[in-house]
Structure formats: structure tokens, C-alpha cells
Amino acid sequence: MGVPSVDQFEKLASFYLGRDYDLATGKLADDLLMYDSKDLCTHAMCVGMTGSGKTGLCLALLEEAALDGIPAICVDPKGDLANLMLSFPELRPEDFQPWLDQGDATRKGMTIEALAAETAIKWRSGLESSGQTPDRIQRFRDSVDIAIYTPGSNAGLQLTVLKSFDAPPPQLLDDADAMRERVTGAASGLLTLMGINADPLLSPEHILISSILDHCWRQGRNVTVADLIGLIQRPPITRVGVMDLDSFMPPADRAKIAMQLNNLLASPAFSTWLDGESLSIQRLLYTPEGKPRLTILSISHLSDSERMFFVTIFLNELLAWMRTQSGTSSLRAMFYMDEIYGYFPPSAKPPSKPPMLTLLKQARAFGLGIVLATQNPVDLDYKGLSNIGTWFLGRLQTERDKARVLEGLEGAAAQSGAAFNRGEMEQLLASLGNRVFLMNNVHDDRPTVFQSRWVMSYLAGPLARDKITKLMADRKQAAAITKTAAKSDSLASETSARETIHADASKPSRPVVPAGVLERFVTPSVRHEEDAKLVYRPAIYAEGSAHYVRASADLDCWIDLKRLLPCHSGVPTDAWESSGEVDEEFDLTEDQDQEFVFCDLPTELRGAATYKDLDKRFKDYLYRHHSLAVYKCEALGTYAPSGSTEGEARIHFTQGLRELRDLESEKVRAKFATRAKTLEKQIRAAGDRITKEQNEMKEATMSTAISIGSTILGAFFGKKLGSRANVSRTSTAMRGATKATQAKGDVDRAVESMQQLQLDLEDLNSEIKIALDEIVAKYDVKSVVLEETLVPPKKSDLKTKPLMLLWTPWQVDSAGVASPLFEPS
């Protein structure tokens, strides 16, 4: 058995997971386990007890996806997945040392430095044994952006799901079943967090909150948790079912629920849930530049109710994102969840179960591969898991575990129409050892036993919060610097002297605006400091619509544009050039907050003529400064969808190239399949002939050069070609036969025939390699070249709404420094 070469496992859209393993002899074979990435569209399940190697196999799968440019989001209840950040191209002892446990070194009677040196040697040797080089580790690190988020904690990057329960996209609003699932999931998750075990069909609390969310979302209104407190006390609905609101739930009962939610929101221990970036599946999958991400959502620090809340909200967000994607047969993205015990039980129905089941049933049509793992196979809904096409089965702890897994395999086979031999499968499961897995893939013609490859990421075990903090320290610092710089840019036009701010802040009266000017107040979305002065500052808000037309790019669309012009220091001379873009709608109200005082209104904003002039200049500004960039990919000869940013265009074209790459790969596979099967049959016949003539040499081993599994042919066709076990069996006599060629002419001729078949095999491999190299060169998903064209808006079609004077909330600290209490852009 030799070390595999790069040519064997760096295959087109195939994941290198390990080597075939002979349970009878307990030895590795030369055949590599190459898993077709498209097979992951029908999802995968990994089951194995502690110490079976389950975590290593799943990390290997994620590493392979990253190398192929496939983004992934991972929910990590234990802390193991943070190990994906511990990949060291140079494999130096000092790279490993910070992640080793001093206790382990002491138990081994070693210094921590000695243990680090031993670990570095162990990892280098393990990688070399699987044919992986430091260069492959570097390519893994370069292929994706890896980040760890810790919702409800500031250990890693912060992520909040509480800033808003945003209204779902139109695609989901139009789908009655999807909308019902989204509403039910959001209400169930929130009530779970509040400690209320609510039945969606019977619980008044659940029905009330669901009715409020459904009403607001259908109006396109985003609902913050703070909004929900008020909406529970004063619902926007008058009836629930056929009953009037107060009969269904009296005001006093609604006040109790609102108070319970308010106490949760106001708790200092809960404040970390309010901080961080808002949950966005697209941002977790790709950077703004379109680079794929490997995002780890670490929830090991959360309580059981908090975990259930977060997982439920996340799964519903993932469903909503999925439904906005176009259909595809190629793998677009991955969702991996470790230890799903408790989230997908067989009888109970926690709020996480319905969205998980929907994902398993529908995600394949959108190219979203779901990978689940557990060491507790008994507590799983195997009827639901029958939608999974690939099962990776490691060593199991009890007979009960094996029985439940066999039940799941049988259901998956029935779902796909594949044959299932329960007795054979049971025997295989009983023989598995450490890092040895049984793969049952409905796309293959038989199950495979293999040993997982050595992972590139160092398996340090579950990482505590302080280790996650250390891993993400540089990332958090860079994010803080970027945020500070962005805030400085947005406030650059407001560099008034601190004394002026104090003076402005002391004026309590509300300025009078010209008649006919629409006036609104922006609701604060950021908590203010305890002793800060609260101030309203004036700004002009403008909305416009621009029409873009370009026939060659199939472009004909309208885009809404929103700008905010700060004016507390007067209207800037360049007017809208000093304005900022508004990404989301502000939460506006007609009523002022009495805690705030007003800055003075600049003189020019006291006259109606200024507003007319600003409106005219706004149209001119839109025409001159808001051309639309459209992007074309020469390799595809098509344009990205209208309104795509450069990053979005890159993502769109990457998926398009991946689909064409997979299509061309299937054509190559179909083109060579007949020849490959014929050659396999001929090799088998030639081997049988040699075996017959040289029966006394049954113990001899055939040259590995004719093992299909160790060639490009085997790696490309995998288990889909046919029974390679026969090929290996028929080749047992070649080496021994060559020793007897002088004595037996018939053996000599048989060997010559086998040698010719070997040459034919090499020729076939060469042809396949050339065809694959052409596909790689033509459809390189990692180097998409974009051609940008700027399309100006049609001047005659520019539309604007009446300008609005907004009073924006700010705070002024004791040093006189002002900062906004809303997101300016």
C-alpha cells in the first residue's frame, strides 16, 4: 500500500474522505474514497459513539467543501468545530503549543514544549500518510473565510437575532405553508426563551404572538422585540379567530406576557443578545466581495432553552434564504449541525423540528446540502431522516443504537427505491473500529467500508470560551477599527465644536418647520448611556426611483434609492454629495420622545424654498451619481441579475460555472463509462484465466498498477462504475504468474494479455485526465473574471417622493461627544 498522490485525490467536484478498508484483514486498500459533491445535495448523516472518529470525518468533509469553494454554516453545540481554525501550513511545534493542555503534558511526564513537538510530528506524519502536503493546508486557509460567532456572548463575533423579526421575503409571503412555518417557528422560539412551553394549537400566548407577527409581516413591517412588547399590550388586530381580542385574552393577561418579555429584554445578563450583527444567511455564507465563508455558530455556552431558541430562529432564516435561491442540481452551500440530539426527536415536536424536516425535504432542489451528526442515534426521528441519501456509520455503543440506525437505513433505501440487505449491513456495523466507517450512499451500487483521512485541522477537542476569544481577537479588533472608521466617515460632516453641541442640547423647545413639510421622528435602535444627554438633530430624508435600461444585458429594472442628509450644522453647500445611503427603512413615528431635547433648526430649513431646491438637486444627484453597474462573465457569456453588487455577481457566476462543470463532468463520465466497464470485464476475465492456470499461486498479489481504485479512472467513477472487489480478486496471480512464464506458454500469453489491458487502462486514464483538465480550465470556479459596465438611469424616468424632515436621535456624553442612537446607514 503506497501513499496516495495528489493526482489521485484532487479530482473535479470530488471530496477525498479516506481509503477503502478491508474488515477481514484489518488493512487499508489502495482504493480512495472519493465522494461526489453532488451527492451531498441529497444530504448526509454521520453517526458514531465517542471515540469513533466522527468529528474528524465531518471536519474532513467541511475541509473538502472549502477547497472546492463551497460555503458552509455550522451549528456547534459542543465546541469541536472551532478546531477548523487550527490549521497550520508550517506544522511548527509553536503553532500547536497554545492549544495543548498542560494537564495532558503532566500526565505524560512531559513539558508542554515537548508535547508540542510530539504533536507536530504526529500531525505531519498523519498528513503525509494520506498524501496531503502543507501546500494543501494553505490552499484550505486561502479558499474560505473562517469565523466563529457566539450568539449571546462576546467570546467570538457577536450575532443577534433579537434586533428584529424581519418580515420575510415576498417569495415566502406567497407560500401559505412556508409562511405558517415561519410564524410558528418564531413564536415557538421566543416563548421557549421566555420559559413558556407553548403548544402552537392550544396555547393562547402562542396564538396571540403568532397572530401579531402574521399581521405585521403581511404588511411588510419588521418587528423588533421592543415593538412586540407594545404590540402584545395593544395588538394591531381586533379579533382572534371568531372571538374579539379581549374575550380571547383580557388586557391584564396580555400585560403579564408583555411584562415577562420586557423583564427578559431588560435583564443585564441578556444584554449580549442585543449586540452584534443581525442574522443574515447570505452574509454568513459569503463575504461582501463574494468569497465563500466557513461560519461556525458556537452555542455551547448557552442554556438549553437559549439553544433551542437560537436554533429555531436560525433554521427558519435558513429556510427563508433557501426559498429566494434559484433551483440547481449542483451543490451550492452546506449546513452542518453537530449533535442534533434533542432537536429532531422521534415523538416530541420541539420548535426546531418542523423547519429541520422541511429543509431535509426541500433543500436538495436548491443545492443546499444538509449534514447532521450525532453520537446518540436512539433519540432521532428516522422517518424524517429517510430523506437523507448518504449515511456515514461509525462504531456504535449498544445493540439498540445499531437497531435504530438499521431502521433509518432501511427507510432511506425505501425512499430512494434502492435495495437493502439488513443482515449484511448488521454484520458490517458490528465489525467497525476507530476511524473506520461504513458509507451507505443511495447513489452508489453498494455500501463501502473506509478509514477516514487525516484532517488538516488540529483536533484539540472542544474549545472553551477563552480559546475562542483568543482565536477571534484579531478579527474582532479589525471589525472594531472598521466600524470606528465608518462611524467617523458618517460623522465627518458633523464636526461641530463640543461647546456648540452643549449649547444646542440645552434648547428644549421644538423648532417650527414650514407648512407642508412632512416631519417625523426616528425611533432609537441603540441603547443610550446612563448619564448622556438625549438630543434630536435634524436631517433631510429623500427617496427616489431610478429606471435602468440596457437591452444587451437584458436589463430593464427600477431601483429605489434612499439618502439621509444631516443638517444640524446647516445644509451643506454640496447638498446630496454629503448625504449617506440608507440601507434599511427607519422606524418612524409622529410622536416625539419627551426625554429628548432639540437642536436648533438651521435658518435655511425654516423656509419652504430650500426644500424645493433640495428636491430639484436630488434628481440631478441621482442621475449624475447613481449609475448601475452590470457585470458579465465571459466564460458564461451572460450578465448577472439586475442590481447585483460585484460580490453578488461573483457568487452568481460561480454557481453557474459549477453547474456547467458538473454537467460537463457527467458527459465525460457517460462518454467513458462503457469503455471502462468493458475494460473492467476484460481484466476480470484475464485474471480468471491466470488464476485457473496458476492455481498454486493463489497467495500472490497482483501488481497495484492494474487496480482501478488507484487510478484516475477509479477516483472519477468511484463506486458508481461497478464491483471493484471482483477486479482485485481476479488479479491475485499476476506477480506469481510472471515467475512461471518460461514454464507455461499459456500463462505467458495470459500475462501478455493482462499487460496489454494494463496499457489500455493507462490510455483510458490519460484520456480522462485530458478531458478533466479541459473542464477545470474552462470552468474554473475560483477565478471568475468579471467585465463591468456602468448604465446611467433614464433621466426622464427619475421619480422622487416629497422630502421629509427627520429628527434623528443622538446622545451627548459628559465630554460633549455626540454619537447616533440609530444606524445611519
For position 169, what pLDDT does the model report?
A: 79
Give residue 719's pLDDT: 64
Query: pLDDT digit string (tens) for 69-104?
Result: 999 999 999 999 999 999 999 999 999 999 999 889
Helix (H) or strand (E) holding 738: helix 734-739
| The pLDDT of residue 332 | 95
| φ, ψ of residue 448 in degrees (nearest 5) | -130, 135
The answer, yes or no, to whether residue 499 has pLDDT greater than 60, is no
Q: What percentage of residues in the chain have a pLDDT greater than 70? A: 88
- Contact between 168 and 322 under an 8 Å Cβ cutoff? The reply is no
- Round to whole Å and give the CA distance between 332 and 69: 9
Sole residue written with cell 448518504? 390
HSE, side-chain direction, 13 A CA sphere, residue 488: 6
Average pLDDT, the chain: 84
**What DSSP state is assigned to residue 631?**
E
Find which of 500-509, 545-554, 781-790 is predicted with most confidence, using mean pLDDT. 545-554
One-letter amino acid identity for 166? D
Instruction: Find all residues with CB under 8 Å of 782, minimum gap 6, and list them.
Output: 69, 143
Distance between CA atoms of residues 810 and 825, nearest Å? 15
| Per-residue pLDDT tens digits for 190-239 | 888 888 888 888 899 999 999 999 999 988 888 888 889 989 999 999 99
- pLDDT score recorded for residue 485: 58
Q: Is 480 left (phi over 0), alpha (psi -120 to 50) or beta?
A: alpha
For residue 58, the tally of other CB atoms under 10 A from its CB is 24
Pull the grid cell for residue 292: 465563500
Residue ranges of alpha helices (H) inside 607-723 are 608-625, 646-693, 712-717
Q: Which residue has the cell 434533542?
A: 342
Q: For the segment 409-443, what is each residue's pLDDT rounded down to a tens digit?
A: 777 677 666 667 777 778 788 788 889 999 999 88
SS3 state of residue 547: strand
Cα separation, 535 vs 187, whole angstroms: 35
Report whether pLDDT(698) > 70.
Answer: no
pLDDT for residue 314 is more than 80: yes
Residue 476: pLDDT above 80? yes
Parallel, antiparallel, or unpaired: how do β-strands 72-76 and 44-47 relate?
A: unpaired
Give the pLDDT of residue 495: 43
- Cell numbers describing residue 260: 415577562
- Measure the CA–CA gap between 576 and 110, rounded to whole angstroms: 67
| pLDDT over threshold 50, residue 469 | yes
Mean pLDDT of 442-446: 85
Residues 58-71: pLDDT tens digits?
999 999 999 999 99
Q: Are 429 and 396 in contact (CB under 8 A)?
A: yes
> Is residue 145 within 8 Å of residue 291, measured between CB atoms?
yes
Phi, psi dihedral angles at 159 (to 5 degrees) = -140, 130
User: 757 near 705, Cβ under 8 Å?
Assistant: no
Checking if the pLDDT of 693 tops 80, the result is no
Kindly state the average pLDDT of the residues 485-490.
Answer: 51
Using alpha carbons only, give the angle 651, 653, 657 rounded to the nearest 5 degrees: 120
Distances (CA, A) of 83 to 79, 95, 287, 464: 8, 13, 21, 11
pLDDT range class, residue 462, cuts 50, 70, 90: very high
pLDDT at 508: 53
pLDDT digits (tens, 9 = 90+) for 247-284: 999 999 999 999 998 888 888 777 788 788 888 999 99
Residue type, 592: Q
Which has the closest alpha carbon to 703: 740, 737, 731?
A: 731
Q: What is the mean pLDDT of residues 715-739?
A: 49
Residue ranges covered by each domain of the chain = 496-627+793-820, 648-778
Q: Which of 454-458, 513-517, 559-563 is modeled with the greatest confidence?
A: 454-458
In the predicted model, what is the mean pLDDT of residues 608-624?
92
Whether the predicted pLDDT of 501 surpasses 60: no
Predicted confidence (pLDDT) at residue 478 exceeds the cutoff of 70: yes
Asked if residue 618 has pLDDT above 90, the reply is yes
> CA dist 26 to 340, 447, 804, Å?
31, 17, 76
As a whole number of angstroms, the longest Cα–Cα distance in the chain is: 114
Beta-bridged to residue 437, according to DSSP, are: 450
What is the rounded distance in angstroms from the CA atom of residue 602 to the CA atom of residue 604?
6
Does residue 355 contact residue 316 with C-beta atoms inside 8 Å? yes
Tell me which of 453 and 275 has the higher pLDDT. 453
8 Å CB contact between 541 and 798: no
pTM, whole model, 2 decimals? 0.83
The answer on pLDDT for 536 being more than 50 is yes
Supply the angle between the helices 422-430 and 399-416 in degrees, to the nearest 10.
Answer: 140
The length of the chain is: 825
pLDDT over threshold 70, residue 763:
yes
Determine if residue 296 is left, alpha or beta; phi over 0 gives left, psi from -120 to 50 gives alpha, anything else beta.
beta
Predicted pLDDT of residue 401: 81
> In the prediction, which pLDDT does 69 show?
92
CA angle at 395 for the pair 393 and 400, rounded to the nearest 5°: 90
